[in-house]
A and B are shown apart, each in its own frame.
Chain A
Amino acid sequence: MANNVSEPLFHIVKRDNLDRKKAWMIRAAAIVFAIIVSSILTTILTDDNPIKVLFTMAGGAFGTLRKTMVTLQNLAILLIISLALTPAFKMRFWNIGGEGQVLIGGLAAAACMELMGDRLPAGLSVPNWLIMVLMVISSILAGALWGFIPAVLKAKWNTNETLSTLMMNYIAIQLVAYFVIKWEVPKGAGKIGIINQDTNLGWLPQLFGSKYMLSIVLAVLVTIGMFIYLTYSKHGYEIAVVGESERTARYVGMKVKKVIIRTMLLSGGLCGLAGLLLVGSINHTITTTISNGQGFTAVMVSWLAKFNPFTMVFTALLIVFLGRGAGEISTKFELNQSFSDIVTGIILFFIIGCEFFINYKINFRKPAAAAAHEDVKTAEPTDAETQAVEAEPTDAETQTVPDESMSPQKSVASDEDRVEETVAGKEDDTDDSVH
Chain B
Amino acid sequence: MIAFIKNLCVFLVAFIPRAVGQGVPLMFGSTGETITEKSGNLNLGIPGVMYVGGICGVIGSFYYEKSIPVNESLNPFWAIVIPLVCSLLGSFLMGLLYCFLTVTLRANQNVTGLAMTTFGVGFGNFFGGSLIKISGADIPSIALSRTSLYFSKSLPFAGKLGWFGQVFLSYGFLAYVAIIVSFAASYILKRTRNGLHLRAVGESPTTADAAGINVTAYKYIATCAGCMIAGLGGLYYVMDYACGVWSNDAFGDRGWLAIALVIFTIWRPNVGVFSSILFGGLYILYLYLPTGMDHMEYKELYKMIPYVVTLVVLVITSMRNKRENQPPESLGLPYFREER
Residue in A closest to B111 when the chains form the complex, CB atoms: A303
Contact with A160, one of B120, B212, B314, B338 (Cβ below 8 angstroms): B314
Interface size (A, Cβ < 8 Å)? Answer: 68
Residue in A closest to B124 when the chains form the complex, CB atoms: A338
Measured CB to CB, the closest approach of chain A to B333, in angstroms, equals 11
Q: How far is the CA of A355 from the CA of B248 in the complex (A)?
A: 33
Q: Give chain B interface residues in 117-147, CB to chain A under 8 Å.
A: 117-126, 128-130, 133
Contact with A339, one of B101, B122, B209 (Cβ below 8 angstroms): B122
Measured CB to CB, the closest approach of chain B to A349, in angstroms, equals 6
Measured CB to CB, the closest approach of chain B to A183, in angstroms, equals 9
B87 proximal to A (CB < 8 A): no
| CB 8 Å contact bits of A149-188 with B (1 = contact, 0 = none) | 0000100011110111011101100110111111000000
Residues from chain A with Cβ under 8 Å of B197 in the complex: 400
A381 proximal to B (CB < 8 A): no
Q: Is the CB of B129 within 8 A of A336?
A: yes
Q: Which of B155-163, B272-280, B302-310 binds A?
A: B302-310
Residue in B closest to A419 when the chains form the complex, CB atoms: B210
Contact with B111, one of A158, A177, A341, A352 (Cβ below 8 angstroms): A352
Q: Give chain B interface residues in 163-222, CB to chain A under 8 Å.
A: 193-194, 197, 209-215, 217
Q: Is the CB of A348 within 8 A of B212?
A: no
Q: Which of B20-28, B67-75, B238-246, B253-261 binds A?
A: B253-261
Which 6 A-B residue pairs are closest in the complex by CB-CB distance?
A341-B122, A345-B119, A402-B214, A336-B129, A356-B105, A338-B125
Q: Is the CB of A13 within 8 A of B338?
A: yes
Q: How far is the CA of A12 from the CA of B336 in the complex (A)?
A: 9
Q: How far is the CA of A333 from the CA of B124 in the complex (A)?
A: 19
| CB 8 Å contact bits of B291-319 with A (1 = contact, 0 = none) | 00000111011011001101100110011
Q: Which of A76-84, A130-138, A254-262, A292-300 binds B?
A: A292-300
Residues from chain B with Cβ under 8 Å of A429 in the complex: 212
Q: Give chain B interface residues in 40-61, CB to chain A under 8 Å.
A: 42, 44
Q: How far is the CA of A14 from the CA of B212 in the complex (A)?
A: 22
Q: Is the CB of B214 within 8 A of A341?
A: no
Residue in B closest to A345 when the chains form the complex, CB atoms: B119
Residues from chain B with Cβ under 8 Å of A340 in the complex: 122
Q: How far is the CA of A293 from the CA of B213 in the complex (A)?
A: 40
Majority-rule SS of A interface residues: helix
Q: Taking A338-B125, A400-B212 as contacts, is the C-beta distance between A348 and B314 under 8 angstroms?
A: no
Q: How far is the CA of A181 from the CA of B193 in the complex (A)?
A: 54
B interface residues, Cβ below 8 angstroms from A? 42, 44, 97, 100-101, 104-108, 110-112, 114-126, 128-130, 133, 193-194, 197, 209-215, 217, 248, 253, 256, 259-260, 263, 296-298, 300-301, 303-304, 307-308, 310-311, 314-315, 318-319, 321, 327, 332, 336-339
**Residue in B115, B124, B194 with the greatest tally of chain A CB atoms within 10 Å:** B115
Measured CB to CB, the closest approach of chain A to B195, in angstroms, equals 12
Residue in B closest to A425 when the chains form the complex, CB atoms: B212
Residues from chain A with Cβ under 8 Å of B42 in the complex: 162
**Residue in B112, B114, B213, B296 with the greatest tally of chain A CB atoms within 10 Å:** B114
| CB 8 Å contact bits of A396-411 with B (1 = contact, 0 = none) | 0110111111000000
Q: How far is the CA of A352 from the CA of B115 in the complex (A)?
A: 9
Q: How far is the CA of A174 from the CA of B128 in the complex (A)?
A: 27
Residues from chain B with Cβ under 8 Å of A160 in the complex: 263, 314, 318, 327
Q: Is the CB of A400 within 8 A of B214?
A: yes
Q: Is the CB of B211 within 8 A of A422?
A: yes
Q: Taking A175-B304, A336-B126 as contacts, is the C-beta distance between A349 and B101 under 8 angstroms?
A: yes
Q: Taking A167-B260, A400-B197 as contacts, is the C-beta distance between A353 and B107 under 8 angstroms?
A: yes
Q: Is the CB of A178 within 8 A of B300?
A: yes
Q: Is the CB of A423 within 8 A of B211?
A: yes
Q: Give chain A interface residues in 356-405, CB to chain B under 8 Å.
A: 356, 359-360, 397-398, 400-405
Q: Apart from A300-B118, A400-B194, what 13 extra A-B contacts exist at CB < 8 Å?
A: A153-B318, A159-B318, A181-B296, A296-B117, A303-B108, A336-B133, A338-B123, A341-B122, A342-B119, A353-B100, A356-B105, A356-B107, A360-B336
Residues from chain A with Cβ under 8 Å of B337 in the complex: 404
Q: Is the CB of A353 within 8 A of B314?
A: no
Contact with B301, one of A163, A174, A335, A419 (Cβ below 8 angstroms): A174
Measured CB to CB, the closest approach of chain A to B49, in angstroms, equals 13
Q: How far is the CA of A239 from the CA of B242 in the complex (A)?
A: 48
Q: How far is the CA of A89 from the CA of B337 in the complex (A)?
A: 25
Measured CB to CB, the closest approach of chain B to A162, in angstroms, equals 7
Q: Taking A167-B311, A340-B122 as contacts, is the C-beta distance between A403 and B214 under 8 angstroms?
A: yes
Residues from chain B with Cβ under 8 Å of A181 in the complex: 296-297, 300
Residues from chain B with Cβ under 8 Å of A345 in the complex: 115-116, 118-120, 122-123
A96 proximal to B (CB < 8 A): yes
**Residue in B119, B253, B337 with the greatest tally of chain A CB atoms within 10 Å:** B119
Q: Taking A14-B338, A297-B118, A422-B211 as contacts, is the C-beta distance between A157 and B126 under 8 angstroms?
A: no
Q: Is the CB of B114 within 8 A of A296?
A: yes
Q: Is the CB of B212 within 8 A of A426?
A: yes
Q: How far is the CA of A353 from the CA of B106 in the complex (A)?
A: 8
Q: Taking A345-B119, A425-B212 as contacts, is the C-beta distance between A174 and B125 under 8 angstroms?
A: no
Q: Is the CB of A166 within 8 A of B304?
A: no
Q: Is the CB of A157 within 8 A of B319?
A: yes
Residue in A closest to B264 when the chains form the complex, CB atoms: A163
Q: Is the CB of A300 within 8 A of B315?
A: no
Q: Give chain A interface residues in 30-49, CB to chain B under 8 Å.
A: none
Q: Is the CB of B105 within 8 A of A300?
A: no
A71 proximal to B (CB < 8 A): no
Q: How far is the CA of A388 from the CA of B311 in the complex (A)?
A: 52
Measured CB to CB, the closest approach of chain A to B179, in angstroms, equals 25
Q: Is the CB of B126 within 8 A of A339?
A: yes
Q: Taking A157-B319, A348-B118, A400-B214 as contacts, is the C-beta distance between A163 and B314 under 8 angstroms?
A: yes
